């Protein structure tokens, strides 16, 4: 299957020169508290993110009995389907797209009922192609995080998406460590993934600040996912360590958009703002000393000096050997009308 290089998620274009899709990943940062969930939606919307995302799971379907600590840790950090509807309604009212990750098969039907605009797949589904295929069969675009993946894992995941009939896939480079050490972020993998795959490529961040996000955008990331939180120093939790909050998420979103504006069109040509600078920064050809009319210009007669408001220095051969039709003084520019 050929994957599309661009597609739409809700009202947003993704890929092929569109602004990066910014996903505010709330994860389980609501801790099962609807007041916190509403605050997280508002944080995402107020900060200018495109998507608010959370996570759905049934603890017993997700985690085996042999990991009781993880079951106990996640069980209270869950939402009911009614609460999920309430979160989506708040997103709708705030004008932000609602998405979620279904971490187990019991929650696939929730994605259908909530009519999410795209399916977000967490990195934990590496080596789980049957599940990816079931998600792909929902007929929605897919955004797949690739933490812990090697290249063969990427190919397996794409094959699974294709097997489910999904040609609208975005892949996110990701490192599943909270927080990720700076020397292991490996943003160059974005370039490699773009070689492996014709669809949009982006970055899901697990670093403690926003620098890697901005660097990823500068490197061409077409989707950005960043965790958000309204709580800090939460015991037995890790997402807050890699999250932006009310104090800095809006600034990060604004910096993403500023970074995109800095990237530009990619052609190497003078910028409109450089027009004035050309006059003072470039050099013109001027007389090295007073020269009389009728003088034949030699190498010793010509210097290159600012400003660049006459014959530019790269046209030296247009002046050399010409006869002056009028006298010019030292430091005066050579002009075409004075040369024969």
Cα–Cα distances (Å) from 241 to 52, 178, 186, 244, 270, in that order, read: 19, 7, 19, 9, 43
For the chain, give every residue range classified as CATH 3.90.1210.10.
Answer: 272-338
CATH number 3.40.640.10 is the correct assignment for the domain at 7-263 = no
- How many Å separate Cα 137 from the centre of its chain? 27
The Cβ of residue 157 has, within 10 Å, a number of other Cβ atoms equal to 26
Residue 36 CA, chain-centre distance (Å), reads: 27
Report the chain's C-alpha Rg in angstroms: 29
Residue extent(s) of CATH 3.20.20.70 domains in the chain: 7-263
CA distance 238 to 61: 22
Output the DSSP codes for 155-180.
Answer: HHHHHHHHHTT---EEEEEE--SSSP
Rounded Cα distance, 8 and 171, in Å = 15
Q: Which CATH number fits domain 272-338: 3.90.1210.10, 1.10.3470.10, 1.20.120.160, 3.90.1150.10?
A: 3.90.1210.10
Average pLDDT per block of 10 residues along the chain, 340 residues long: 96 96 96 96 98 97 96 93 98 98 98 98 98 98 98 98 98 97 98 96 97 98 97 86 96 98 94 92 97 97 96 96 96 95
Q: How far apart (Å, rounded) are the C-alpha atoms in residues 322 and 146? A: 68
Length of the chain, in residues: 340
- 261-270 in b/e form (b: 16+ CB < 10 A) is eeeeeeeeee
**pLDDT, tens digit, 9 for 90 and up, residues 217-256:** 999 999 999 999 998 888 887 898 999 999 999 999 999 9
What is the rounded CA–CA span in Å between residue 30 and residue 33?
Answer: 5
The phi and psi torsions of 170 (rounded to 5 degrees) equal -115, 135
The DSSP H or E segment spanning 264 is none
pLDDT attached to residue 237: 79
| Residue 288 Cα distances to 46, 83, 164, 336, angstroms | 63, 82, 76, 17
The pLDDT of residue 187 is 98
Q: In 10 A of CB 141, how many CB atoms?
A: 24
Residue range 8-20, pLDDT digits in tens: 999 999 999 999 9
Handedness of CA 221, 224, 225, 227 (dihedral sign): positive
| DSSP SS3 for 66 | coil
pLDDT of residue 235: 86
Q: Are 182 and 26 in contact (CB under 8 A)?
A: no
DSSP 31-45: TT-HHHHHHHHHHHH
Q: What is the pTM of this model?
A: 0.91
Based on the number of CB atoms within 10 Å of its own CB, is 13 exposed (0-12), middle (13-18) or buried (19 or more)?
middle
Which of 288, 282, 316 has its CA nearest to residue 303? 288
Q: Which residues pair with 12 in a beta bridge?
A: 9
Across 168-197, b (16+ Cβ under 10 Å) vs e yields bbbbbbbbbebbbeeeebebebbeebbeeb
Q: Which two tokens stand for residue 46?
A: 């107020």
- d(C-alpha 301, C-alpha 80), whole Å: 87
Which is nearest to 204 in space by CA: 120, 282, 279?
Answer: 120
């Amino acid at each position: 299957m050929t994957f599309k290089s661009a597609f739409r998620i809700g009202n947003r274009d993704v890929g092929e020169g569109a602004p990066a899709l910014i996903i505010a990943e709330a994860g389980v940062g609501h801790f099962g508290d609807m007041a916190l969930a509403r605050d997280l939606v508002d944080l995402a919307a107020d900060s200018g993110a495109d998507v608010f995302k959370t996570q759905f799971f049934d603890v017993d379907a997700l985690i085996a009995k042999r990991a009781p600590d993880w079951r106990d840790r996640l069980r209270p950090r869950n939402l009911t389907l009614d609460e999920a509807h309430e979160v989506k309604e708040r997103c709708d009212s705030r004008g932000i797209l609602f998405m979620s990750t279904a971490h187990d098969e019991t929650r696939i039907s929730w994605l259908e009922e909530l009519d999410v605009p795209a399916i977000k797949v967490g990195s934990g589904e590496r080596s789980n192609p049957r599940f990816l295929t079931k998600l792909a069969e929902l007929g929605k675009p897919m955004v797949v995080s690739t933490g812990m993946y090697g290249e063969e894992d990427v190919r397996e995941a794409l094959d699974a998406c294709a097997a489910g009939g999904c040609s609208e896939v975005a892949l996110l480079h990701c490192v599943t460590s909270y927080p990720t050490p700076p020397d292991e972020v490996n943003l160059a993998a974005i370039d490699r993934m773009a070689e492996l795959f014709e669809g949009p490529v982006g970055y899901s961040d697990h670093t403690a600040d926003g620098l890697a996000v901005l660097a990823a955008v500068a490197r061409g990331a077409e989707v950005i996912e960043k965790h958000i939180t309204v709580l800090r120093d939460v015991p037995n939790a890790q997402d807050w360590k890699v999250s932006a909050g009310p104090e800095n998420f809006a600034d990060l979103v604004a910096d993403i958009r500023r970074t995109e504006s800095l990237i530009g069109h990619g052609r190497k040509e003078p910028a409109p703002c450089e027009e004035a600078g050309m006059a003072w920064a470039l050099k013109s050809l001027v007389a090295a000393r007073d020269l009389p009319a009728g003088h034949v210009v030699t190498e010793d007669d010509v210097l290159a000096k600012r400003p660049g408001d006459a014959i530019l220095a790269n046209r030296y051969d247009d002046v050399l050997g010409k006869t002056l039709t009028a006298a010019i003084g030292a430091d005066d520019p050579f002009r075409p009308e004075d040369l024969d």
